[in-house]
Structure 1
Amino acid sequence: MTTPQHGPFAEAPLEELFPDAGEGDLELLRHEAARVDAALAPKGPARWEWEPGVLFTEITVGDEAGDRLEYMLQVDCSEGTSAWVFAGVSVACGCEENHETHLVGQVPVYLTELTSLYEGTELGMAFSFAAWELTGWIENPREPDYWRSLKGLPAPRPTAPAP
């Protein structure tokens, strides 16, 4: 596998993506991905992308013409000696300033020494922590206006009324 693949989490070949990971790590990844999918109901399961050492999802919620939220969750063990897990939420909007670039919440978890990392469930625990934050963002609150107000983002561009 050299090109990125995509599909539901169940199709991700975790043993190939993270060959040094223990079964405990992989079980935690599976469990937390199922919890993310449950938080997305009734929208449906997340679409994941993967390549060796990397697993990623980005979930968009909201109006395509107006403000929307983008949720991200990524595991990256591609560096060889370190790894990280990242969860984030962004307001994707049509404002005049920094259009579509408002990262309003993030949880980075950095792990080092992959040789010792995989002896336990550190990767799985880091993924669990990030997935927990992500599902909290998805479930409470879902409206971009909340994040816009909380982070002091500029007002959205006025949209033209429908003809």
Structure 2
Amino acid sequence: MMRGAFGDVPLAALFPLLTPTDVDSLSQTAGTVDAARAGRTTADWEWVLEHAAFEGTRLGTPIILGLDVVEHAEGGDQLEFLLQVVRTGPGRLAVDAAVNVACWCATDHATHDVDAMRFVVGEQTSLPGAFRAGAERLTGWLADPHDADHWRAKAGLPPKRIS
């Protein structure tokens, strides 16, 4: 996995069918995400060149490009905001956006998605369009309360246990 600023992301290698207009659109959208998280815990964009080509035997959903903004609170609590371009099959992509919280259930699940969306890239939705939709959702979440228990309550999960 490689990390860096969005300008460092080798978009042509990850997504060889993008036009220059598509590349500009992705860069502009990433700029709005970077601006929305300014002053917060910073995170680099991450990418995996090996995931650009789909391997049918690979388990899970390979992440090609993503951003994971993690906010830690006192007592070990955590709130996480994700934006990822994933490969879902040969020639098939989707953009996932999610808010995760640390798990405080009796059975430790590690984290829970408390809000998640998938934007499938296809004939009617381009990669830049799906990326923009995911980014808009992410920037909206970044403007919402940054209290993990707020998100847990919204999802019907137990609050953080106080030791």
Q: How many residues align?
A: 150
Q: Provide the residue aligned with 2:68 in structure 1.
A: 58
Q: Provide the residue aligned with 1:150 in structure 2.
A: 154
Match of 1:17 among 14, 17, 41: 14
Q: Give TM-score scaled by structure 1 length.
A: 0.81
What do residues 66-120 of structure 1 show as CA deviations (whole Å, max 9, x unaligned)? 32211111112474321111001101244434443210011101123xxx68xxx
CA distance in 2, matches of 1:65, 1:152: 21
Cα separation, partners in 2 of 1:145 and 1:5, compared to 1, 3 Å: same
Cα separation, partners in 2 of 1:123 and 1:104, compared to 1, 3 Å: same
- What CA RMSD, in Å, does the superposition of the two structures yield over aligned residues? 2.1
Which amino acid is the alignment partner of residue 28 of structure 1? Answer: S
Match of 1:37 among 34, 39, 50: 34
Q: Give TM-score scaled by structure 2 length.
A: 0.81
Whether the 8 Å CA contact 2:153–2:159 is kept in 1: the answer is no
Indicate yes or no: 2:136 matched with 1:132: yes
CA distance in 2, matches of 1:25, 1:132: 17
Structure having greater relative contact order (Cα 8 Å, sep ≥ 6): 1
CA distance in 1, matches of 2:41, 2:69: 10
